[in-house]
């Protein structure tokens, strides 16, 4: 045991990296770490952060909620903490990447699935372990899994609580890329930098549109897209993208709004001779 914080945070060129830091418990998440995640995700939504990476220390992503922790709170209070973090991560208005090494099981795996993109090493292992603990999935697992893999595969993963490897997870669309151990740090750094360089307002709206798409009709989706584009055209990023295309350079996106020209007072025509 050490006095190190249970969650490490670091910023590099608009990218914030949050590292679950309980390696002695394979980054099992206790009440202190849930609280730290809630605070960190709230800050990320309000700070000048353009992309977020979630990972774990000591060669593991997370072994899930810490069932050995001395926590006397009632189950509903505990679940409120889990749900707060799950919603904050899902609704974060910026791109998120899970960097997974080692185990990602239970609530830990569902936190990774709550990120927009998942990069894993070949040795990563995943499990919806809840049934082995006499529990049902939480942290959004019952909502995420059917959308990602379909209902039948979701039932297989949740009911049997099998452990699958990174390649199978990728084949089921639960991992975006599998990258060798020696390359994953550089790979995620480059990926996060590319996301951070994107148009922040447009990316936030794209993420929200995709998240809400399954509950909309085509007519409703088109209306939502039109509203989003109106907001995008009100930023300086659209003319910047056009200028960069013409000038054959990379665009510099800021998400700034157009400055409104000063309003001109209407002419007083009350004394004009007829």
Alpha helices in 126-180 (DSSP H): 141-149, 151-160, 166-171
**What is the average pLDDT across 44-69?**
94
Write the CB contacts of 142 (distance below 8 Å, at least 6 apart in sequence): 136, 154, 158
**What is the average pLDDT across 260-266?**
46
Q: Inform me whether the pLDDT recorded for 252 exceeds 60.
A: yes
Average pLDDT, rounded, for the chain: 93
With CA atoms as reference, report the closest residue to 18 among 140, 115, 163. 115
Write the CB contacts of 235 (distance below 8 Å, at least 6 apart in sequence): 199, 201, 202, 255, 256, 257, 258
End-to-end, the C-alpha distance of the chain in Å comes to 90
Beta strands in the chain (DSSP E): 7-12, 15-20, 51-56, 96-100, 103-105, 117-120, 125-127, 163-165, 177-178
Q: Inform me whether the pLDDT recorded for 256 exceeds 70.
A: yes
Q: 178 pairs with which residues across the strands?
A: 120
Q: Inform me whether the pLDDT recorded for 23 exceeds 50.
A: yes
Percentage of the chain exceeding pLDDT 70? 93
Least confident of 17-26, 66-75, 129-138, 179-188: 66-75
Percentage of the chain exceeding pLDDT 90? 88
Least confident of 69-78, 93-102, 203-212, 265-274: 265-274
Q: According to the model, what pLDDT value does residue 2 have?
A: 60
**What is the average pLDDT across 16-31?**
97
Q: According to the model, what pLDDT value does residue 69 have?
A: 79
Residue scoring higher pLDDT (71 or 223)? 223
Q: According to the model, what pLDDT value does residue 67 have?
A: 82
Give pLDDT tens digits for 65-96.
998 877 778 888 889 999 999 999 999 999 99
Q: According to the model, what pLDDT value does residue 8 have?
A: 98
Q: According to the model, what pLDDT value does residue 68 have?
A: 81
Q: According to the model, what pLDDT value does residue 71 have?
A: 79
CA–CA separation, 199 vs 254, rounded Å?
A: 7
Query: In this structure, what token pair is assigned to residue 71?
Result: 């926590």
3-state secondary structure of 23: helix
């Amino acid at each position: 045991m050490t006095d190190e914080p249970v969650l490490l945070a670091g910023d590099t060129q608009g990218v914030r990296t949050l590292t679950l830091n309980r390696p002695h418990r394979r980054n099992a998440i206790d009440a202190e770490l849930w609280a730290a995640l809630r605070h960190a995700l709230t800050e990320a939504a309000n700070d000048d952060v353009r992309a977020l990476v979630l990972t774990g220390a000591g060669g593991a992503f997370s072994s899930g909620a810490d069932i050995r922790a001395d926590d006397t709170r009632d189950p509903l209070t505990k679940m409120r903490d889990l749900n707060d973090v799950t919603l904050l991560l899902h609704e974060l208005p910026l791109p998120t990447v899970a960097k997974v090494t080692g185990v990602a099981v239970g609530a830990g795996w569902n936190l990774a699935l709550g990120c927009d993109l998942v990069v894993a090493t070949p040795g990563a292992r995943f499990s919806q372990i809840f049934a082995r603990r006499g529990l049902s999935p939480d942290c959004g697992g019952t909502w995420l899994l059917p959308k990602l893999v379909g209902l039948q595969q979701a039932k297989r993963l949740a009911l049997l609580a099998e452990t699958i490897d990174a390649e199978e997870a990728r084949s089921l669309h639960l991992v975006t890329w599998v990258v060798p151990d020696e390359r994953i740090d550089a790979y995620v750094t480059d990926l996060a930098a590319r996301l951070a360089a994107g148009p922040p307002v447009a990316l936030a709206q794209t993420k929200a549109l995709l998240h809400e798409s399954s509950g909309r009709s085509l007519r409703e989706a088109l209306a939502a897209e039109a509203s989003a584009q109106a907001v995008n055209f009100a930023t300086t990023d659209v003319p910047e993208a056009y200028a960069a295309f013409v000038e054959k350079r990379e665009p510099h996106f800021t998400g700034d709004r157009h400055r409104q020209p000063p309003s001109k007072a209407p002419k007083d025509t009350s004394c004009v001779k007829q």
